[in-house]
A and B are shown apart, each in its own frame.
Chain A
Amino acid sequence: MADRRPAPLDIFSKLRSATPARIFLPRAGTGLTTRATLDFQLAHAEARDAVEERLDVEALDEELSSRGLAAVRVRSAARDRRGFLLRPDLGRRLDDESRARLKSAAGDYDIAFIIAEGLSARAIARHAIPVLDRALASLDPASWKIAPIILAEQGRVALGDDIGETLGARLAAVLIGERPGLSSPDSLGVYLTYAPRIGRTDAERNCLSNIRPQGLAYDEATRKLLYLCNEARRRRLTGVALKDEAETLASEELRSIDVKN
């Protein structure tokens, strides 16, 4: 047997700082110590609570009106949380009453912002308004006709297609609570779809993910969103084609940096 020596603690702590993964956990026999076990349980409990929580539409509506922003409230066809989880198709469709209400708000809009709780109402409660504030402040009102803000209960990403089509918006930006991770119960996602209509696929959207202070910061997320909005309008599309181009541009920038160095 080869010789062994005790683990130098500084090396482990150095390694631990290289990843958010749960590494070098304290052991009790082959298992984890009580504290490490309960830490995990707490993280899972927070993620579960985030899934179960419902969006406080009232509070959000008030926040918007305090900014002078008109909002329209809608619901998907999913009646309750269980139905929402089991039937993704229902969460992608407006209920009849909501569709009627939206039709009366229809118009000629360049973009509609849709706030949907998705799988984390907590993400919406924490991050939707900060991102929306920044986005609205950066869009020139002279060239962007913005639809009333849509507040959608029990909505999935593709509900934005139904909403955008009913409203008559050329772009739909869906701010949605993402599926909670164990260490990220409040990640916000933004999905952008050009010419939204029922039947659009995910390949026809662009997505910004993990928006929260510990992930993609508000300012950076807004900068990327505006880039995508402008490009989507200019090229009249969203999705894989737009993403490829954005990545090509980015890698060309990188190559030119390589040459310079």
Chain B
Amino acid sequence: MYGTTIRGTRYSFPDLKSLMAKATPLRSGDCLAALAATSAAERVAAQMALADLPLSVFLNEALVPYEEDEVTRLILDSHDRRAFALIASLTVGEFRDWLLSDAADEESLAALTFGLTPEMAAAVSKICRNQDLILIAAKRRVVTRFRNTLGLRGRLSSRIQPNHPTDDARGVLASAIDGLLLGNGDAVIGVNPASDSPEQCYELLRLLDELRETLNIPTQSCVLAHVTTTLQLMERRAPVDLVFQSIAGTQAANSSFGIDLALLRESREAALALKRGTIGDNFMYFETGQGSALSANAHWNCDQQTLEARAYGVARIFDPLLINTVVGFIGPEYLFDGKQITRAALEDHFCGKLLGLPMGCDVCYTNHAEADQNDMDDILALLAVAGVNYVMGVPGADDVMLNYQSTSYHDVLAVRRMLNLAPAPEFAHWLTDVGLSDAHGELLAQALPASFAPLLERA
């Protein structure tokens, strides 16, 4: 039992997960699950009670039962007590104060990584204002490598997302070329296949690999098929750079995705054997999003933000090259409007970074959410200030296959210019070498490098 008394009114919370849920800033998904605070005052009361809780409580009270959930077992069994010693005596509130202090710098935050559990990160995020989430996350950089170096300070990378409603090869190629001409694609050139058929995915992999080889681009490609499909394709020696999978924060939710930890380990081993990375061995790519466990009815009455942080607990043991929350994709019953999507994007980025992940974000919304492109402009700028590793580059921000809106190639250019951010260093050199940008890294208007010509003519 947890609780606090405010001016004579007693607020009590039967267990840790209800305290966490009630302390969560308002969002529709927690209301849908009937877990949210029933008044604004109760929410702050829960935040006050949470702030007074020692961090060590999270090592003693599991929100999802240890015996019944392999994600809980992973989190608690891999907890690094030596790293935790630095903050072991702090309450959640004191931990927030420490994170804001100069004692928390790039080095100490990196050392703390595996001493933090996802639940601790989620707890402290709940008592942070948006500004805190940005300021603290900006201290922490997570650098990963495959064919280029992602996540360095002063850099902003992007995924080219050249989706097509029927996986048409020319259509995908056309969108990818547009992205490259606009200086996008250093994080990955990654297609969501319209069909999960292995044949179609194989064709897409060949197409993207040939594009990369022909233009000698220091980046990686990915077809975001189910991990079982990718495993099959690796057996058939398809050119698989990155292994993609959507993941969630409970075993039951992962099971609804058709995966478990063993399957992810198996796929990681298979990709490692391919040795396709030239400068590093980060090659897993994960997507997540608040609300996925609830939508699979696999949420154990935990709030959606805490479960999202637990998904990062899964991700980090696989040393991913990329991970992004697809923050507004799930719809208004989980994140109702621009305000809620913005908050979730900042929380996800913050928790991911504290837990040691190369956090990116698909800044996005659907047409039945109370949000528009102005909200995406705001989120993109805030995340870029917070030091997000990468965002999406979707042609005109309109994904014509998945039917939602994200950020565009042009949006990436705008934010790079506003905040003086550059692409990954190897990719920036390539842009200059082929004549797409000048010596200062400024993209040249309407340039069409000679090296693109054969590719264009074939298309």
- Across the interface, do A15 and B170 meet the contact criterion of CB distance under 8 Å? yes
- A16 close to B367 (CB less than 8 A): no
CB pair B398 A22 closer than 8 Å? yes
Contacts of B177 in A (CB 8 A): 15
**Chain B 360-381 interface mask (CB, 8 Å, partner A; 1/0):** 0000001110001100000000
Chain A residues lying within 8 Å of B331, measured Cβ to Cβ, are 179
Residues of A within 8 Å of B397, CB to CB, are 22, 40
In the complex, which residues of chain A have a beta carbon less than 8 angstroms from the beta carbon of B445? 27
| Chain B residue nearest in CB terms to A14 | B459
Cβ distance B453 to chain A, nearest Cβ, rounded Å? 8
Binds B, one of A3-11, A66-74, A141-149: A3-11
Known: A18-B168, A21-B398. A85 touches B332 (CB 8 A): yes
- The chain A residue with its CB closest to the CB of B418 is A30
B171 touches A179 (CB 8 A): no
Digit string of A119-137 for contact with B (CB within 8 Å is 1, else 0)? 1000000000000000000
Q: In A1-38, which residues have CB < 8 Å from any B CB?
A: 1-8, 11, 14-16, 18-25, 27, 30-32, 36
Given known A-B contacts A7-B446, A14-B459, A19-B174, A179 and B367 have beta carbons under 8 A apart: yes
CB neighbours of B79 from chain A (8 A):
none
Q: Knowing A15-B174, A43-B398 touch, does A30 contact B443 (C-beta < 8 A)?
A: yes
By a CB distance below 8 angstroms, the chain A residues around B310 are: none
Measured between beta carbons, the chain B residues less than 8 angstroms from A5 are: 448, 450, 453
**Chain A residues with CB below 8 A from B164, complex form:** 19, 21
Contact with A along B164-182 (1 / 0, CB 8 A): 1100101111110110000
From B332, B403, B453, A181 is in contact (CB under 8 Å) with B403
Shortest CB-to-CB span from B442 to chain A, Å, is 10
Q: Is the CB of B332 within 8 A of A86?
A: yes
- Count residues of chain A with CB under 8 A from any CB of chain B: 45
B395 & A21 in contact (Cβ 8 Å cutoff): yes
In the complex, residue of chain A having the shortest beta-carbon distance to the beta carbon of B437: A1
Least CB distance, A214 to chain B, in whole angstroms: 11
CB distance from B342 to the nearest CB of A (A): 18
Add 6 more A-B contacts to A6-B446, A44-B372 (CB < 8 A): A2-B450, A15-B456, A21-B162, A22-B395, A27-B446, A32-B408
- Chain A interface residues toward B at CB < 8 A: 1-8, 11, 14-16, 18-25, 27, 30-32, 36, 40-41, 43-44, 47-48, 50-51, 85-89, 119, 179-184
Binding site for A on B (CB under 8 A): 28, 31-32, 162-165, 168, 170-175, 177-178, 331-333, 336, 366-368, 372-373, 395-398, 400, 403-405, 408, 410, 413-414, 416-417, 432-435, 443-451, 453, 456-457, 459
